[in-house]
Structure 1
Amino acid sequence: MGSMTVSYDVLAKNLAAQTTELRKKRGLTQAALAKLAGIPRSTLASMESGMGNPSLVNLASVCAALQVSFEELLATPRSQTKLIPKNEIPATKKARGNVLVYKLLPDPIPGMAIDRMEFEVGARLGGVPHSAGTKEYLHCVQGELTVVVSGESFTLKAGDVLAFPGDSAHNYVNTGSGRAIGLSVVTLTPKL
């Protein structure tokens, strides 16, 4: 047995976990999935318990009913939780190095961005107008930030939130006496 061999116990455990999770994600009972797959409910229950040794035909039937591949049904379940250490969060220096912008969404989500912006004293950052229909929410975490939106000025202290159209011309300035930190959430607003 080489190191590439996967034990039957691991496969049975993966099959049980993946079948159960995929069935539940699709809102199916065991009876409903068994009917879709054309297999006895007891066979499916056995697969989900990790005790069964299903035939290839039964495995193929369950894969077809769940619309997944053999590999997906037998793969080790992936965790939906992911810890990203601070030093692995992508950061960009802007405004001649006086503003550090951290991208806080590790997985791209269409229509959404969350950035942590750290401003040195007096630092100014021009905001790039976002696409039409977006809204920006700026939360001042520390210090004082002044945001100019379409020529109108707003000063935020720690704890304040400024909501404004993300597609407007805007810029940020640290107008406080110390470092300022802001969290920017940009989201596409649904059309009503």
Structure 2
Amino acid sequence: MLTEQHSEALAVWALRNRIWDYLVKPLTPLDLRRSVENSLSMRYGGQYGQRDNPIPPDLRFYKLHRKVTLPAEYFVENHYHEKIYEEHVAQLCGMKTCVFSRAFKKEHGTTFRRYLLEYRISKARELLRRPEVLVRDIAYTVGFRDPSYFTRIFRRIVGVSPLRYHERHAECEGNRKNLHHRDHHSGGYPNR
């Protein structure tokens, strides 16, 4: 059985229904291969892919690969616009801050601070594509308390200032709407 989220109730249900391989995504190709080999071995009486492992396939336990920092991801998604303390997020994951920092860096390839900044900037980019928004309000909306710091970070990550990004994308969005409006009112035929 392959599932996206682990829960004790689901695991108990699976075992009661004689589902011996309970896998949680994401899983490694090795875990998937082992599961398939175990299933085939059970089906064909242990003949398939037989190894020198004395433990019967249905009693073997394979480590489930799951992100220990998943609560941090969910927290950032739901609270990115608020002030976020790494210590608090580490507690949500059941870890001390230094342990959390190492685990987060290992799982995401970046620090928690950098992840949070990039997440906020991605949300800012979404908002800046909308022509009706005011650039000066975006910094506060996505969790920055200082607009000049927001501008510096945005320019460092995106390569242009928030104002320039907004001008480019709002202009493109406006042109798209004008084309749709013109095509809609001219019956879809271009003017000749």
Q: Which structure would you say has the larger RCO, counting Cα contacts within 8 Å and 6 or more residues apart?
A: 1
Per residue, is there more strand in 1 or in 2?
1
Q: Give the TM-score normalised by the residue count of structure 2.
A: 0.28
State the TM-score, normalizing by the size of structure 1: 0.28
